[in-house]
Amino acid sequence: MTGRIILIIGLLFPAWSVAQEVQTLNLKKCLRIAFEHNEDIIGAGLDEERSEVDLRTSLGRFLPSFDSRFSVNMQDKDRVSLSKIRGLVNTNKSYSFDLSASYSLFNGFGDRASYRASQRVRKARKLARERTKEEIALLVIQRYLACLRADQFVKIGREALERSKAQLEKMEVMLQVGTVPRSDVMKQKVQFGNDRLSLIQSGIESVRARTDLLSVLGIEAIPEAVRLEEVTIEPTEEKITFEEALSIAKAHRKDLASLDYLSEAAAEQRTAARSGLFLSVSAHASYSFWDVAFPRSLKDVDKIDGVSYGLTLRIPIFDR
């Protein structure tokens, strides 16, 4: 009988029967691990970083754009060509250089609306990440307490099994001397079996609770090799009405504030989409030179270069 009890405990708690390192966690450490490794928190952080990149991109639309190009063109045969630098030359090459700049003066307030939308999306993603951390923290606390509760059931089940075993051994001795009927011994054996089954179920629930906790923490560990420290909970009595609770939630829940920012961002994005219906004005300037002979000094460049500048007015008439 004793050997069977030891075998059951070994199956329930292999961390006790096999030598392995036991990891001790407390609630504060679990919260810190979850903030570093939980996939939901990591994903929310990546969304926030992506919104910061989008904000910088929308800010860059207010800056002018520059473009430069230098090219050398070659033909299969030499030809006599007129060069502004050296006159008639026999060559199969030509050289060109272009430097251009452009700046959008007005585009229907599209850039401004896109920037304001990116600002609000960034604020929304930041609040969403903070809200995700709060939800994960609450989930960690719930599952940590569930583990402690399961451990208490295991402890109670183990004590009940020991008492049932002692009572069964006592009644077997009393049966041998004839002081108790065999039916009472059989009832005690049934009780011992029920207590043993209850302990097995409690052990399974303890492992399951630890597995759920580890999944929230985002780490890999053997559930049976994790020991949790006790926590002290001091209940407080604070009366609050439903209306007061609803008002507090509206004022402090960050996911609601995040939705407000996303709604404002959607309105700004609609304004940016409508900007294509308005006329746009842009300024441009360019500097270039071209010749069949490569310039070797600034004096040569002065003979072949040119500057152009102007304004471009675009009026949309029909766009599918």
Whether pLDDT at 237 is above 50: yes
* 144: nearest Cα among 202, 201, 209: 209
Mean pLDDT of 145-162: 94
199 or 87, which is more confident: 199
- Statement: residue 244 has pLDDT above 60: yes
Q: Tell me: the pLDDT tens digits for 263-274?
A: 999 999 999 999
For residues 76-85, average pLDDT:
78
Residues shown for the chain: 320
Q: In Å, how far from its chain's centre is CA 91? A: 62
Query: Do 288 and 306 touch, CB atoms closer than 8 A?
Result: yes
pLDDT confidence of residue 142? 95
pLDDT at residue 153, rounded to an integer: 94
8 A C-beta contact, residue 161 and residue 197: no
Q: What is the mean pLDDT of residues 192-196?
A: 92
Q: Which range is most confident: 104-113, 120-129, 217-226, 308-317?
A: 120-129
pLDDT in tens, 210-224: 999 999 999 888 888
Give mean pLDDT, residues 248-265: 90
Confidence band for 20, pLDDT divided at 50, 70 and 90:
low
Structural domains of the chain in order of their starting residue, each with its CATH number: 21-231+241-314 (1.20.1600.10)
Query: CA-to-CA distance for 196 and 157, rounded, in angstroms?
Result: 8
Q: Going by DSSP bridges, is the β-strand pair 23-25/226-228 parallel, antiparallel, or unpaired?
A: parallel
| Choice between 66 and 238, residue whose per-residue pLDDT is larger | 66
> Does residue 216 contact residue 175 with C-beta atoms inside 8 Å?
no
Task: Specify the pLDDT at position 34.
Answer: 95
Euclidean distance between CA atoms 216 and 219, whole angstroms: 8
Pairing of strands 226-228, 87-106: unpaired
High-pLDDT (> 90) share of the chain, %: 56
For the segment 109-120, the average pLDDT, to the nearest whole number, is: 94
Average of pLDDT values for 65-69? Answer: 94
Q: With 90 as the cut, is the pLDDT of residue 1 above it?
A: no
Out of 101-115, 123-137, 298-312, pick the least confident.
298-312
Quote the pLDDT of residue 263: 95
- Please give the pLDDT value at position 16: 41
Report the chain's mean pLDDT, rounded to a whole number. Answer: 87
pLDDT at 45 over 60: yes
Question: Could you tell me the maximum CA-CA distance found in the chain, to the nearest angstrom?
Answer: 135
